[in-house]
Structure 1
Amino acid sequence: MLNKLKLQYLVFFLISMPINAQVIGDNNTPESIAVLKSIGEEKVTLHYSNSTLLSGENFFFKFYCKNDKNLPSDASKIGYVELVNEDLNVVIKQKILLKDGTGYSDFFIPTNLTTGGYKLIAYTNWMKNWGIDNFFQDDIFIINPFKSQKNILELADNMEHTDLLVIKDTEYLTKNLIISLDENIIKERQKVNVKVSTTNFDLDSGSYSVFVQKVENLKFKKYKSSAIEKKEVQSTQFYIPELRGELISGFLTNNQSKEKITNQIFTFNIPGKNYQLQTLKTDNQGKFIIDFDNNSEVNFGLIELINEFDIDFNVTIDNKETIDYGKLNFIKIKLDAMLKDDIVNRSIHNQIENAYYNVRPDTIILSQKKKPFYGDLGAKYYLDDFTRFPSFKETIVEIIDDVWISNDQNGYEVLKIKSYGEQYSDGSYKPLLIVDGIRLNTIKDLINYNTQNIKSITIVREKYILGANIFSGILDIETFNGDFGKSTNYSDAIKFTINPTSPKKKYFRQAYYSDSIRIPDYRHILYWNPEFIINKKDTHFDFYTSDVKGEFIISIKGFTFSGKPVDIEKEFIVQ
């Protein structure tokens, strides 16, 4: 197993090669293949809410990525979760940002999915090297109550009584982890206090998730096993681990000559509160690879050539290779016809809960604003502290020291920054101009911009090196709404679509006060915490029951500090 520093050097070397960002070609030497394999395999486990779902329900999961020592992997920062139907189509796909080998998200089961068996698939880009047999795979059964179920209903006399939820209980877990309640028979809308006890340090430092949900006892019959034997896959292609973030590749083309633009320096931007800015260079075939943090606030990126104003160009992003799911086996299930009323009632509960979602919403956790790439350098001018001027040129001249606008030899207006120690800007280097995280080649998009929208201007007068480029300084403009990159069409930049990772959420927790008594509550999942922490001795948490009666279960799953799996449950009754 390579250590993290060596792994970073290896990935840096690989993404510098003229190859697709996702895959290394067939021309690898045995030595390079051996180095790649020394990184070691990854394996993924998903802990999720329920194997049997109805249209209109939410599916919650936590993603665990482990190395070959069963410890959190540091080789991948992006995980992929897919739901595949019997026609081998990916009907739902999510990208998960991984931190310390874990991440979490959820997705909604739409009404356009038909009743039947589905495959839940989870993997990383690095795991593609060993084939889909090494991906996480599990069977999910979806019931669409809005469509006829006559082909899946069967009388109970012909059924096998099998529960989709397999309860694991080992001597290790029962001795070292105990879930206890004040009482095991609980009323509706009652607060439940839970105590989790342990004296084991290994459990104390692990990573866990907690579900509290209704036990849905569905009788069903499986007609085909979905078990797949793990096989060693020999391949001459190797996929690069997404060590720092997502990898995308493509090439630049001159629209006039139709030729690829080779050895060209350009910038890649993703706007937003924590914008991303990189300088890159195409290779001698016009190709590029971008390694970026895909936890962005917008769904697009911008590419702009540096110091090239007359080239009409286009950006082509390589399509990611489609995974062949032809070997998947899908379960065929018959449901007990006597459960039809239960399914209808559960569907009604879902519809009521969805109708009141705005009263009990989950909230997206916004990332905290970070320092820009230039750190604490520069002076920041908040324009509300000064007399505002109607034009950008007047604002620069009257407020910002050592910055001005003049005309170049072609008569175009250009921005000048006087670096420290200089009497004037000698023009050897141009300034780095940024607006809401977007680098601009010129100020032409700002000349007629409404300066009332500008919140602040930061000026860095030191010469700054970004990539292989030297700039005379930095002028960084922040607008009040941070939407310059969203609302402006740039004459010099090409916009292309990116699909961000699923946002991090804070999940709603019901609590009862006098003003919420009259709101119906038909939650089947009472509590979901994907970042549960077990402290030394006792850990406490609480939740409220709903108007739904029946058998419920508290489930704690995860991995201890040393990588041992944890799966322990506690049942209680709501009546």
Structure 2
Amino acid sequence: MKKLYITLLLCLMFTTFGYSQQDLSARDRLFDNKEEVFIHYNSTFLVAGESLLYKLYSVDPNSGKLSNLSSIGYLELTSQDGEQIFLHKVSLKGGAGYGDFLIPSTVPSGAYKLLGYTRWMQNAGKGHFFSGDLVIINPYMEDQSNVIWLNDSVPGSNVTTLLQDPSGGNSIRKNKKFCLEVNNDVYGRREKVTINLSKVGSGPVRGNFSVSVKKLENFLIPQPLTAESFHSTLEDSNWERNKNLVLPDLRGEILSGKVIARDKNVEAGGRTLIVSLPGKPFFVRLVKTATDGSFKLNLDKMDFGSRAFFQVLGDDREHFEIILDNAPAVEKQDIRFQEVKITNGMVELIRQRSIYNQVENSYVSVKQDSIDSQVKSIPFYGSLPEIYNLDEFTRFPTLQETFVEIIQLARVRRNRRGSSHFELTGSAGSQSLKPLLIVDGLILQDHEDFIHYDAGKVKSIGLQREKYYLGPEVFNGLMVVETINGDFYEYINHNFIKTKRIEILQPKKTYYQPVYGLKKQLYSRVPDYRLQLLWLPLLVVDGTTAEIEFYTSDVPGNYEITIEGFTEDGEAVSLQKVIEVQ
């Protein structure tokens, strides 16, 4: 199926304003593949210092199944004043991905919206994005102007909307085909809880789910959208089919823009554009512009740095301006925010919750989430046959001296115009061609930008003295430099280089869970004031049942177990059950 998507995209990739009948046919076929986003998040009410935990599901509204079309999802938190608190880029595998955000003390109290979408959904027209309510209370800020304070005697004096039932007990939301069971309804502190997810009747459970266990509030908070209620709206997923086609992030993020000639005597079409993303490893790609100067680039790998640098290749590079397209976004004019109403009776509950928060954060060194290790990408040039780690040699104050005394297979050469560049001695290529120079992932066309750099800040210099090809361009070898701090690009300031901030993908994590299986763990003096007992964003089930274990904390009260997700057959699953901790 993915090969079909790619074929259809290739038919449209270089189409501009006019469409042939064949182009329109490919366009219509591509629009048959729709997407809608559902977000399961841990709570609609958070206090500054707590974490928003979420999982983003991309769903095909035609089948109800998870979509494989987009490889990236976007999630943002916006305030009622229109301020974007954060924008996250989430890697989607099999139509799902997850992340988190620690609510900082700089975010004021008020009503917020959690918005989720994919780049492909920009073609659907207005209103095609996930929108969920979130109330944030920040007790550390004096300004509480976004909150309405009410007396306890005022009827309905709570955070507005329907909500969780704080009564607890054996409350459960059932599903006709799936069952959520626990080994008890009431637990002690630091006691193990076992959850079983099974299918009613015979047959295996196959699907992608997320699990949250969080303490219920003693007051009303906004009711979150469930996977089942979201699923019921998919039949009304009518796309307007935006005339200006926005391509999906099929194999990674798409970067696009246009090269404009400042000089009427030069053409922007057919130019070579250098794109560099510093990082470990770094990303370098050459892209040809279309006849109108436009370009598109696919970041097919996603473990690079947070900045991208664009420059036109050639001695006339200063005659061009590079304009980059904006990142995908949603129109927020029609978003409605609820009023946040707080009673005097809620103040003590929020204060106590804030104390729990501060204690937990003070022990973060022993309760850390672990970032899953990832296989790093191999550098595009492979391995370098010659690498000089300068700390292994006597260091010299200038790079000119360093190349004379240490790196004897390369030298600094001055041309007739008085400018200098590097030359690799003994290379097989023509000496009229310069080597490709890359410093901390940034291609330098003017070698003097590095020749006069502080030699004491250089970590290593690698050489490849054979003729080197990058795209359609030929270079007389390759020189790759790594500085000690990896920040050489901070020293470069040319008007022909365009910089764009790239949102880094959310890292894959294993979220902290204590284990109280031994006596010394059970009676540990490390306090456990967790209100979020479990967050399991990646529960892939392929069997008759799924068993999940976690431990309660030292905070008594009612806790809600929530399981959301979608089966392989396109069935939405929403299960809730309340347990009590005494």
TM-score of Structure 1 vs Structure 2, range by shorter chain: 0.7 to 0.9
Summarize deviations over 1:279-327 as a string: whole Å, max 9, x none: 1233343333333258455432222332326736543323357633333
Summarize deviations over 1:410-455 as a string: whole Å, max 9, x none: 34333334687x4xx4235432222221112243233244445444
SS at match of 2:46: strand
Residue in structure 1 matched with residue 298 of structure 2 by the alignment? 291
1:273–1:170: structure 2 CA closer, same or farther, 3 Å change rule? same
The question of whether the paired residues in 1 share the 8 Å contact of 2:122 and 2:246 is answered with: yes
2:559 to 532, 535, 552: 552
1:320–1:541: structure 2 CA closer, same or farther, 3 Å change rule? closer
Summarize deviations over 1:480-515 as a string: whole Å, max 9, x none: 443333x43255862513131343153333457679
Residue in structure 2 matched with residue 311 of structure 1 by the alignment? 318
Summarize deviations over 1:189-238 as a string: whole Å, max 9, x none: x152535465888535x32222121122433699xxx9997544254332
TM norm structure 1:
0.81
Measure the CA separation in 1 of the matches of 2:11 and 2:457. Answer: 43
* Residues 154-169 of structure 1: pairs in structure 2 closer than 5 A: 155=153, 158=156, 162-164=162-164, 168-169=173-174
1:8–1:321: structure 2 CA closer, same or farther, 3 Å change rule? closer
Residue in structure 2 matched with residue 22 of structure 1 by the alignment? none
Residue in structure 1 matched with residue 115 of structure 2 by the alignment? 121
SS at match of 2:348: helix
Which stretch of structure 1 is more off in the superposition, 162-171 or 559-568? Answer: 162-171
Unmatched tracts of structure 2, length 5 or more: 166-170, 224-228
1:17–1:480: structure 2 CA closer, same or farther, 3 Å change rule? farther
The letter for the 2-side match of 1:265 is: T
Q: Does 1:38 align with 2:41?
A: no
1:300–1:255: structure 2 CA closer, same or farther, 3 Å change rule? farther
SS at match of 1:11: helix
Measure the CA separation in 2 of the matches of 1:384 and 1:110. Answer: 42
Residue in structure 2 matched with residue 497 of structure 1 by the alignment? 500
Residue in structure 1 matched with residue 226 of structure 2 by the alignment? none
* Residues 215-294 of structure 1: pairs in structure 2 closer than 5 A: 215-219=216-220, 230-233=237-240, 235-253=242-260, 261-292=268-299
Residue in structure 1 matched with residue 387 of structure 2 by the alignment? 381
Measure the CA separation in 1 of the matches of 2:372 and 2:112. Answer: 30
* Residues 142-541 of structure 1: pairs in structure 2 closer than 5 A: 142-145=136-139, 147=144, 149-151=147-149, 155=153, 158=156, 162-164=162-164, 168-174=173-179, 178-181=180-183, 183-188=184-189, 190-194=190-194, 196=196, 198=198, 203-204=205-206, 206-219=207-220, 230-233=237-240, 235-253=242-260, 261-292=268-299, 295=302, 298-308=305-315, 311=318, 313-320=320-327, 323-331=330-338, 338-354=345-361, 356-357=363-364, 360-362=367-369, 364=371, 367-376=374-383, 378-383=384-389, 387-388=393-394, 390=396, 391-393=398-400, 395-396=402-403, 403-417=410-424, 422=428, 425-427=429-431, 429-485=433-489, 487-489=490-492, 494-506=497-509, 507-510=511-514, 517-534=524-541, 536=543, 541=548
Residue in structure 1 matched with residue 5 of structure 2 by the alignment? 7
The letter for the 1-side match of 2:574 is: D
Which stretch of structure 1 is more off in the superposition, 337-346 or 146-155? Answer: 146-155
Measure the CA separation in 1 of the matches of 2:240 and 2:67. Answer: 21
SS at match of 1:350: helix
* Residues 560-571 of structure 1: pairs in structure 2 closer than 5 A: 560-571=567-578
Summarize deviations over 1:11-40 as a string: whole Å, max 9, x none: 34544456xxxxxx6x44565344233231
The question of whether the paired residues in 2 share the 8 Å contact of 1:133 and 1:230 is answered with: no
Aligned length: 552
The letter for the 1-side match of 2:175 is: T
SS at match of 1:7: helix
The question of whether the paired residues in 2 share the 8 Å contact of 1:254 and 1:311 is answered with: no
Measure the CA separation in 1 of the matches of 2:375 and 2:550. Answer: 28
Measure the CA separation in 2 of the matches of 1:492 and 1:343. Answer: 51
What is the CA-CA distance between 1:265 and the residue it aligns to?
1.5
Residue in structure 1 matched with residue 168 of structure 2 by the alignment? none
1:142–1:357: structure 2 CA closer, same or farther, 3 Å change rule? same
Which stretch of structure 1 is more off in the superposition, 431-440 or 446-455? Answer: 446-455
The question of whether the paired residues in 2 share the 8 Å contact of 1:362 and 1:505 is answered with: no
Q: Does 1:102 align with 2:96?
A: yes
Unmatched tracts of structure 1, length 5 or more: 19-24
What is the CA-CA distance between 1:128 and the residue it aligns to?
1.8
The letter for the 1-side match of 2:53 is: F
1:306–1:528: structure 2 CA closer, same or farther, 3 Å change rule? same
1:89–1:430: structure 2 CA closer, same or farther, 3 Å change rule? same
Measure the CA separation in 2 of the matches of 1:493 and 1:363. Answer: 41
The question of whether the paired residues in 2 share the 8 Å contact of 1:254 and 1:313 is answered with: yes
The question of whether the paired residues in 2 share the 8 Å contact of 1:309 and 1:492 is answered with: no
TM norm structure 2:
0.80
1:516–1:28: structure 2 CA closer, same or farther, 3 Å change rule? farther
Measure the CA separation in 1 of the matches of 2:290 and 2:44. Answer: 48
Residue in structure 2 matched with residue 49 of structure 1 by the alignment? 42
The question of whether the paired residues in 1 share the 8 Å contact of 2:149 and 2:342 is answered with: no
Which stretch of structure 1 is more off in the superposition, 94-103 or 83-92? Answer: 83-92
Summarize deviations over 1:87-145 as a string: whole Å, max 9, x none: 55544432222233221112244566665544332111111211243322333344455
SS at match of 1:83: strand
1:44–1:270: structure 2 CA closer, same or farther, 3 Å change rule? same
Measure the CA separation in 2 of the matches of 1:382 and 1:191. Answer: 57
The question of whether the paired residues in 1 share the 8 Å contact of 2:191 and 2:552 is answered with: yes
